[in-house]
Structure 1
Amino acid sequence: MNKNLKYFHTEQNTQGIVLIHPSTTDSDINELDQLEEFIDIALIFLGDPDIKGIIYRNPLSAKETAYKAIYTLASHSDIFEKRLSILLSKIPDLQHHKPVISIVQNDCLGISMAAALWGSRRIATREARLGFSEARYGLFPGFGATVLTSRLLDPEKAVPFLTQGTILTAVQAQEAGLIDQVVVDLTEALESAQQYILQNPVLKATMSPLPIHTEAFEASAAIIRKRSNGLIPGIDHCLQMIRDARELSLGDALIQEAQHYTKVWNSPEALCMLRTQYYGIREAIRPDTSTGFELKKLGVIGAGMMGSGIAYEGARAGMDVVLKDVDLTQASKGKAYSEKICNKLVQQGIMTENAQQQLLGHIHPTDQMADLGNTDLIIEAVFEDKVLKAEVTTESLPYLNEKGFFASNTTSLPISELASVSSKPENFIGMHFFSPVDRMALVEIIRGSKTSDDTLKKALQVARQFGKIPIVIYDGPAFFTSRIFFNYLLEAITMLLEGIPANEIELQARLAGFAVGPLAVLDEISLSLMLHVYDQLPELHASQKRCYNYLTKLVTAGRNGRKSGKGFYNYDSVTGKKAIWQDPEITEADHLPAVDQIRKRLLHVMSLDSFRCLDEGVLQHPLDGDIGSVLGIGYAAHTGGVFGHIDQVGLPDFVNECQAFAEFGEQWEIPPAIKQLADRNFSFYSGFDSNWK
């Protein structure tokens, strides 16, 4: 049979057991083609009376899912749905009569995991990791995965697993019910599979509908719906399929899944999320070994929350970290921050006590600047004050080694200006980490006017060593993420002063897809911090001045945010619960705008300023803006980011809607360049590719 096969090799032993595995490692092969050949081979063997069973390993030769290829296929929706339906309709025949056993090794994710579920039994080696990351990209697990998982697990357990991109160890998967047996290695897996086939020659799988605990399912689904607000089609279709998987026969449910899967692939949300959160991130973290730079010793100045977090990340990456503060007690508190993180990881079973001690051994708190001697990189993370940053920069620079470079962790202060105190401004760069550093993946790399290419490459390398996702920004007031984020906050204050109720602004922000409402964010960062940022800007336009004056009034009244116990919310000192506060001095507007107008203003204002950043050269690529907006400041994930949002709206409509908001302030001024692009019906992307040159 092998001579007629394009993608697979088969082996048959004397006991009538067949092993099927890929015959090629070509990663460019279409996965649908491979799976079609695999299932046809398997069914031919199962029809042979001399064959007792089948063992198969991952039928896909590619290590990673070729989403672009699937997108191309799915864009011809009728053909794709038909092929997928035919493929999935054959799965019940794999699970009936004779045993078909899948061996799960290494990382078995996405479509590979789906194919592993096709068999009647699954055996995993101990190091295997299993799961579906599709939900992170606006999709849902297809190729039979959602239906088969929902028939193996109780629906209330299937819901979070299928919709949250959870990755399980082999043992966890066995405990959940996805894996039948965990073994040491492939040899033991093959022996166990053969033994099972010989001992269980006949199977009677359930093809009919299964019972569903409706109340438990709906409770679990409600949690997911609340998080997504119905904005991500993949999640909505997945929840529907989890129910259908139980209420329909296996065959009918699989056909339904093919229909839902095709619809999701043809949604703009899936394309935008895939482009940003899969391909964009993969490109951002692609390693570059051309620098020859090796970071062994890291100096961090400032042991506050940011500096402590940076020290933790450096130690986690295996670097020796000198954590400097004005006194040893404060520096030691910074190390204690890392110990607290490690303690939690140890309790969760994620980190061993030995690994904890090794990590903490890399952090050396000090109050002596001289301890920074011969560092490869110094990152200052002191308070956002130009004078203070200049002082620590001047004092610490002599301790850098010859090949080292200096980075400022700043939210908004101009890098070129901060670098002016350095005798080697070409070795000075901005590295804007996000808080909390150990949980936020993004790092904004800010290139000053004199930053060298070599320093930029080194900073990117360090960010990747930290396990972060870097984007490159060119110097400008508040850079990129902070700049557009302040416009989000500005628009919220503007609407509040127009008489739109605070609770309505917060609600519509969440329903628009933002991770957190703007007023809640202001309370978390403190109103005085935003005032401080405004103080650092060269000048304020009228809308910003109105916002500044109002925030000043609140701070003067003691409403500075969560830390002061009140801001735009009131905080219970005992329970910590918060309740929205409506300023009694602001009169509610006689005619409130439609809710979609509130949502558009919050989304559009950030996208419009993002275009200004692109037009001014602060941003070089739209994809950097999309990654930064989603990962750094919680922009609506279903849009794919600020430029994905413009494409979903359509540039002509976007410009017209922004022009209609002109009465609300200078933040709505339309750059001539975007009008010209709108006249051409320009889009920032064609599929996965950027149109911006």
Structure 2
Amino acid sequence: MILYNVKDGVAIISWNMEGYPMNVLNEDSIKAFADATEKAVNDADVKGIIITSEKDAFGAGADLKMIKKMLAQKDLDVKTAFENARELNQVFRRYETSGKPVVAGINGTALGGFYEVCLACHYRVAVNNPKAQIGLPEAQIGLIPGAGGTQRVPRMIGIEAAAPLLLEGKRLKPEAALKAGLVNELVADKDQMMAAAKKFIAENKFIMQPWDEKNRKGQIVGKKNYRVPKGNIQSPKGVQVLMPGTALLMDKTKGNYPAQLAIMNCVYEGLQVPMDQALDIESRYFTQVLRTPEARGMVRTLFFGIQDANKGEARPKDIPKTEINTVAILGAGMMGAGIAYVSAMAGMNVILKDISVENAEKGKDYSRNLLKKRLSKKRITQEKADQVLELIKTTDKVEDLAAADYIIEAVFENRDLKYKITQETEAVIREDVIFGSNTSTLPITGLAEASKRPDQFIGIHFFSPVDKMMLVEVIMGEKTSDKALAATLDYIQRIKKTPIVVNDSRGFYTSRCFSTYTAEGMEMLQEGVNPILIENAGKSAGMPVGALDVADAVALDLAYKIMKQTSKDTGEPMEAMPGGKVVIKFNEELDRVGKKAKKGFYEYPENGKKYLWPGLQEHYPLAENQPNIEDLKTRFLHRQALECIRCLEEGVLRNPTDGDVGSILAWGFAPYTGGAFSYVDAVGIEQFVKDCDELAAQYGDRFKVSDKLRDMAAKGETFFKDMALEAAAV
């Protein structure tokens, strides 16, 4: 687990966790590391210490069971939880204040707690591996660096430079980490790393951190008045960063993210006291954040949920891996062009087909332009860019599809057109090839009726822009086989996207639930709610943009077509659908269909920022009494979450975890909640049902809860187990 040997007066402590692909922090490894460092500190013959790893990576944080146990600390008394949080800080502080030079040999990725291992060292030597990442990403999953990160980073590089690294959880490549001051030296390989570490030890017989000093007893302790690089808290620079910085943070987060606020407090309070007191401040805030529902929800979804999905948790286990060397994409519009790009970037041959080679080449231009941008930012070499473009072959001939190992149809949302494309494609491809349809609303079972092999027909719903959006929604039709699912998940893993698997229905999961956000915004508008208040309420609730803004971006004519098709298929009048009257008015009377037409709920001037259309007030006069913004926020989030619950109850969703992952990655459901189901658990199902009953009485049946949910509320059930129970089961 932890290798220890002494040579020429240098103790080499090397992490080597057996049975783990990467080194992790857990109760056993922390104890072993503490024992090894204590042994080195107490050995008079040891003149210096090198901390490194036997694996390709240095380490990437705490293991699954430990994280879940930490998150279960809401059930512990505060004092015990605080002492648990201090444990690692005390281990690090012991070797940091030993007087012996300690060097971190960073031979690969060092993230989270493992980078904090390095921060407590006096010198950091990193191997210049472009695939390695260095940083403190805790804030991205609702936590704060809890082992000295919030204290040592600003003391090393200054408050202003530290802020984005801590608040945004940025990960840096070794070269960038050197430039930022997070490492001291860059070397070519591990041998050079060890040589540089030994050289530093030989040149430093006794050492202290710049933020430490000797007390009267000769002990190393934190300085009372350490001067932070580029300005202390009280300096003009420090005030300049922290005061407007806090205001900007509140504007960006709307106060919804406890971790970011805690990080700012750690920096502000910690930099005013010596290091040992500062670390206790950090431990106190770390304990507070761990006990929040936001931390539990974000870790559950953004760490475990996404990680499990990426590993292929939903893939049928007994089916051999599908080798996909060539993928054919039918339709070179925005979606098809994006799918072609990510497929070629993953090293696959791409056949990009459209009605003409000219159209297909326009689709290939999308890849050309993206690669030019990457080249200009030095994120790719010219050789690599040329290779990617070489992989994309354009055509207008259906016969060229015969070479494909996997098909993705990405033509317009028109059932008849999709039928035609399916039949002409199946006439030329191999019988074992899976046919994936990229559709956002049309039921897969119905589309599969055009296929002679419905068991090999599956939905594969991408999101725009494909190169940036990480989610892919996989839709199982009534006859879709496990073979088709396995092959589709193999393809998605190859392009490094995150899949969720859902069962067939109109709008599936993501489109169906996302539309409730925009529809609720339109209902508010019709009620006379100030559109500015509508937009601010949506953003304050944690949504990426306002409901009317996103409706414009998606396009009101698309919403009109979908509603019209739904009305035709179900018999429900468009006027009776949530938001239906507004959509009809904007399409049939006002001819304002959204951003693409430069007129919708917003105006889009050629030069200047968009703004809400002043004519809204004429068509939707403001009500005399405007609602409380908190009530609007509740309406937005409850409405979306309730539709997600209906999808689970109807069997569209297979589990709440997929629901949470999909809600955040597909349409940006308030990430601080951990997703729609974590949100309901945090509110409490009993309270959620009570809220919905009140909303239903005021606004209608769209807020009506099922008997099943009411029964869950009565029994005090939740969608997720307690973290402590999950940890015990691991």
TM-score, normalised via structure 2 length: 0.89
CA deviation map 1:204-261 (0-9, x unaligned): 4323343232212444444443332211211111121122332222111111111111
1:168 is displaced (CA, Å) by 0.8
- Is the contact between residue 563 and residue 574 of structure 2 (CA under 8 Å) also seen in structure 1? no
1:89 is displaced (CA, Å) by 4.3
Matched, 1:197 2:201: yes
Structure-2 separation of matches of 1:73 and 1:408: 42
Matched, 1:676 2:711: yes
1:558 is displaced (CA, Å) by 2.8
1:29 is displaced (CA, Å) by 7.8
1:415 is displaced (CA, Å) by 0.8
1:542 is displaced (CA, Å) by 7.5
Query: In structure 2, the residue corresponding to 1:558 is in which secondary structure?
Result: coil
Q: How does 1:239-254 map to 2 (within 5 A)?
A: 239-254=264-279
| Aligned twin of 1:68 | 65
- Is the contact between residue 295 and residue 376 of structure 1 (CA under 8 Å) also seen in structure 2? yes
Query: 1:45 is aligned with what amino acid?
Result: A
Alignment match of 2:187 (pick from 150, 162, 183): 183
Say if 1:9 and 1:427 are closer, same or farther in 2 by CA, change over 3 A: closer
| Aligned twin of 1:409 | 438
Structure-2 separation of matches of 1:330 and 1:13: 67
- Is the contact between residue 406 and residue 434 of structure 2 (CA under 8 Å) also seen in structure 1? yes
- Is the contact between residue 510 and residue 667 of structure 2 (CA under 8 Å) also seen in structure 1? yes
| Aligned twin of 2:407 | 378
Alignment match of 2:517 (pick from 475, 479, 488): 488
Query: In structure 1, the residue corresponding to 2:617 is in which secondary structure?
Result: coil
Higher deviation after alignment, 340-349 or 586-595: 586-595
Say if 1:181 and 1:368 are closer, same or farther in 2 by CA, change over 3 A: same
Say if 1:30 and 1:78 are closer, same or farther in 2 by CA, change over 3 A: farther
CA deviation map 1:352-397 (0-9, x unaligned): 1111111111111112222212322221111111112112222222
| Aligned twin of 1:155 | 159
Structure-1 separation of matches of 2:464 and 2:576: 25
Structure-2 separation of matches of 1:660 and 1:238: 38
- Is the contact between residue 155 and residue 243 of structure 1 (CA under 8 Å) also seen in structure 2? no
CA deviation map 1:387-428 (0-9, x unaligned): 121122222221221210111111101111111111111111
Matched, 1:262 2:287: yes
Alignment match of 2:41 (pick from 36, 42, 46): 46
Matched, 1:174 2:171: no
Q: How does 1:53-452 map to 2 (within 5 A)?
A: 53-58=48-53, 65-73=62-70, 75=73, 76=76, 77-89=78-90, 91-96=92-97, 97-127=99-129, 128-205=132-209, 206-207=211-212, 208=223, 209=226, 210=228, 211-212=232-233, 213-287=238-312, 290-452=319-481
Structure-2 separation of matches of 1:84 and 1:564: 55
- Is the contact between residue 321 and residue 490 of structure 2 (CA under 8 Å) also seen in structure 1? no
Query: 2:678 is aligned with what amino acid?
Result: G
Query: 2:175 is aligned with what amino acid?
Result: V
- Is the contact between residue 62 and residue 113 of structure 2 (CA under 8 Å) also seen in structure 1? yes
| Aligned twin of 1:571 | 604
| Aligned twin of 1:4 | none
Query: 2:565 is aligned with what amino acid?
Result: Q
Matched, 1:562 2:595: yes
Point out where structure 1 has 5 or more consecutive residues left out of the alignment. Answer: 1-6
Q: How does 1:488-637 map to 2 (within 5 A)?
A: 488-537=517-566, 538-540=570-572, 544-545=576-577, 547-555=579-587, 556-579=589-612, 581=614, 582-637=616-671
Structure-2 separation of matches of 1:636 and 1:245: 30
| Aligned twin of 2:699 | 664
Query: 2:180 is aligned with what amino acid?
Result: A
Query: 2:50 is aligned with what amino acid?
Result: I
Q: How many pairs align?
A: 684
1:540 is displaced (CA, Å) by 3.4
CA deviation map 1:293-341 (0-9, x unaligned): 2112211111111010011111112111111111222110110101111
Structure-1 separation of matches of 2:487 and 2:88: 48
- Is the contact between residue 296 and residue 376 of structure 1 (CA under 8 Å) also seen in structure 2? yes
| Aligned twin of 2:18 | 25
Say if 1:8 and 1:321 are closer, same or farther in 2 by CA, change over 3 A: closer
Query: 1:22 is aligned with what amino acid?
Result: W
1:125 is displaced (CA, Å) by 0.8
Structure-1 separation of matches of 2:393 and 2:54: 49
- Is the contact between residue 681 and residue 719 of structure 2 (CA under 8 Å) also seen in structure 1? yes
Query: In structure 2, the residue corresponding to 1:535 is in which secondary structure?
Result: helix
Structure-2 separation of matches of 1:65 and 1:518: 38
1:592 is displaced (CA, Å) by 2.1
Structure-2 separation of matches of 1:481 and 1:586: 29
- Is the contact between residue 18 and residue 51 of structure 1 (CA under 8 Å) also seen in structure 2? yes
Query: 1:8 is aligned with what amino acid?
Result: I
Point out where structure 2 has 5 or more consecutive residues left out of the alignment. Answer: 213-222
Matched, 1:13 2:46: no
Say if 1:678 and 1:87 are closer, same or farther in 2 by CA, change over 3 A: closer
Say if 1:583 and 1:401 are closer, same or farther in 2 by CA, change over 3 A: farther
1:622 is displaced (CA, Å) by 0.8
1:443 is displaced (CA, Å) by 0.5
1:508 is displaced (CA, Å) by 0.8
- Is the contact between residue 85 and residue 286 of structure 2 (CA under 8 Å) also seen in structure 1? no
- Is the contact between residue 122 and residue 208 of structure 2 (CA under 8 Å) also seen in structure 1? no
Query: In structure 2, the residue corresponding to 1:247 is in which secondary structure?
Result: coil
Query: 1:13 is aligned with what amino acid?
Result: K
| Aligned twin of 1:3 | none
- Is the contact between residue 21 and residue 58 of structure 1 (CA under 8 Å) also seen in structure 2? yes
Structure-2 separation of matches of 1:666 and 1:541: 16
Query: 2:374 is aligned with what amino acid?
Result: L
Higher deviation after alignment, 30-39 or 375-384: 30-39
CA deviation map 1:429-485 (0-9, x unaligned): 111100000000100001111111111111111111111111111111111010011
Query: In structure 2, the residue corresponding to 1:182 is in which secondary structure?
Result: strand
1:580 is displaced (CA, Å) by 5.4
1:680 is displaced (CA, Å) by 1.1
Structure-2 separation of matches of 1:604 and 1:668: 8
1:83 is displaced (CA, Å) by 3.7
- Is the contact between residue 92 and residue 117 of structure 2 (CA under 8 Å) also seen in structure 1? no
Query: 2:579 is aligned with what amino acid?
Result: C
| Aligned twin of 1:35 | 30
TM-score, normalised via structure 1 length: 0.94
Query: 1:162 is aligned with what amino acid?
Result: L
Q: State the identity %.
A: 32
Structure-2 separation of matches of 1:600 and 1:8: 50
Higher deviation after alignment, 298-307 or 153-162: 153-162
1:181 is displaced (CA, Å) by 0.4
1:271 is displaced (CA, Å) by 0.8
| Aligned twin of 2:674 | 640
1:658 is displaced (CA, Å) by 0.7
Structure-1 separation of matches of 2:423 and 2:89: 66
- Is the contact between residue 85 and residue 146 of structure 2 (CA under 8 Å) also seen in structure 1? no
Give RMSD over aligned pairs.
2.3
- Is the contact between residue 502 and residue 508 of structure 2 (CA under 8 Å) also seen in structure 1? yes
